[in-house]
Amino acid sequence: MTPPEVRLWLRLRQPGEGLPRGTLLSNYILPTTAFGNVGEIDPKALTASLTSTVDKICDGGLVALLTSGDYTLSGFITGQGATVTQTSGLYGSANVGSGIGVSATLASGNFTANSGTLLSNYILPTTAFGNVGEIDPRAITIAANNDTVAAGQPALALTYSLTNGSLVAGDTIAGALTRVSGETPGLYPILEGTLSLSANYTLTFIDGAYTITSTVTPTVVTTPANGSSSSAANSLAIAFEDPANQNSAATSFRTAGGYTPQINPQSTGSLSGEGAPYPDNVCVSSNIRFTTAGCR
């Protein structure tokens, strides 16, 4: 079957053709302008972002302190601009880190126009955002408290003091101190042990000293039996030991006149000499005192 034939005709319009019949434009003074209050220009939208690093030391809060230099406004016509005066924002996290989201809420009063800029020509942004937050760890210094205990006495609990910095409200120090082991007289460092803080802190620890002191123990070896006035018969042989260095010493002294020797357990040293009866309550060395009134 043969498709039907379709024909198109093109006809050119002559000048003046299409005007109402009987109209001759030469009969009129044609207008050179047209006017009407029908124009509408829509304001141009602006965008705001935070583009500079906003940092602080961890304080447990979300508040961010901002400056005008932290903002970038985009969308202005060339040659125009404004600054943002909002100084308060919020971090997306209170923990130590970088690249943390920071946001700010903006109102019309938070913008100051540059010279030649009419802000009413723009749709002002109501928020600004950027992954520019940086929170640094809080520095803390802890020092072990020095302690002293006499040999043979119950061990003391190890304690510490916060000597620099402070904890954020609600945060605590975990773990406990330890010390170098040993129970004989001497000095033992107190160490950090398991003491720890969260990743929001940097901890500096200062070692302490746990001191165990010695006790001098006297031992009477011989005693005079006859009360003779001779030097040999009227003497006591005294031996004592210093557990701190395991040394011992011995000497003798006269006891005529009823004087009684007394060892001072808070001192160490060696006995010396022999001589006439000593005056009452006189120290003859750092360890020995004579007294007629008994031990004092």
Q: 117-152: per-residue pLDDT in tens?
A: 999 999 999 999 999 999 999 999 999 999 999 998
Question: Percent of the chain beyond pLDDT 70?
Answer: 66
Contact 106, 86 (CB under 8 A): yes
Residues 250 and 265 in one domain: yes
Q: What is the pLDDT of residues 49-103, one digit of tens each?
A: 999 999 999 999 999 999 999 999 999 999 999 999 999 999 999 999 999 999 9
Residues 151 and 205 in one domain: yes
In a domain, 36, yes or no: no
Q: Is the pLDDT of residue 175 over 50?
A: yes
Calculated CA dihedral for residues 127, 128, 130, 135, nearest 10 degrees: -90
In a domain, 19, yes or no: no
Q: Is the pLDDT of residue 207 over 50?
A: yes
Residues 131 and 199 in one domain: no
Amino acid at 169: A
Residues 117 and 167 in one domain: no
Q: Is the pLDDT of residue 225 over 60?
A: no
Residues 276 and 235 in one domain: yes
Residues 62 and 125 in one domain: yes
Residues 102 and 177 in one domain: no
Domain termination site, one of 103, 136, 169? 136
Looking at residue 18, its pLDDT comes to 61
In a domain, 122, yes or no: yes
In a domain, 24, yes or no: no
Residues 123 and 146 in one domain: no
CA-CA distance, 124 to 79, in Å (whole number)? 17
CA-CA distance, 232 to 237, in Å (whole number)? 10
Dig out the tokens for 137 from the structure: 């760890």
Residues 205 and 232 in one domain: no
Q: Is the pLDDT of residue 224 over 50?
A: no
In a domain, 168, yes or no: yes
CA-CA distance, 241 to 2, in Å (whole number)? 138
Looking at residue 8, its pLDDT comes to 55
What is the chain's Cα-based Rg? 50
Share of the chain residues as helix, strand and coil, in percent rounded to the nearest 5: 5, 40, 55
Residue with tokens 């009413």: 120
Count: domains in the chain: 3
Rounded average pLDDT over 140-165? 96
Looking at residue 255, its pLDDT comes to 41
Looking at residue 214, its pLDDT comes to 87
54 vs 18, residue with greater confidence: 54
Residues 60 and 125 in one domain: yes
Of the candidates 99, 152, 143, the residue with the CA atom closest to the CA atom of residue 265:
152
Identify the burial level of 165 via C-beta atoms within 10 angstroms of its C-beta, where 0-12 means exposed, 13-18 middle and 19 or more buried: middle
Residues 131 and 149 in one domain: no
Identify the burial level of 218 via C-beta atoms within 10 angstroms of its C-beta, where 0-12 means exposed, 13-18 middle and 19 or more buried: middle
DSSP 246: T
17 vs 198, residue with greater confidence: 198
Domain that holds residue 250: 217-291
DSSP 270: -
Domain termination site, one of 213, 245, 273? 213
Residues 223 and 261 in one domain: yes
In a domain, 50, yes or no: yes
Q: What is the pLDDT of residues 25-58, one digit of tens each?
A: 999 999 999 999 999 999 999 999 999 999 999 9
Amino acid at 161: S
CA-CA distance, 289 to 4, in Å (whole number)? 147
In a domain, 4, yes or no: no
In a domain, 49, yes or no: yes
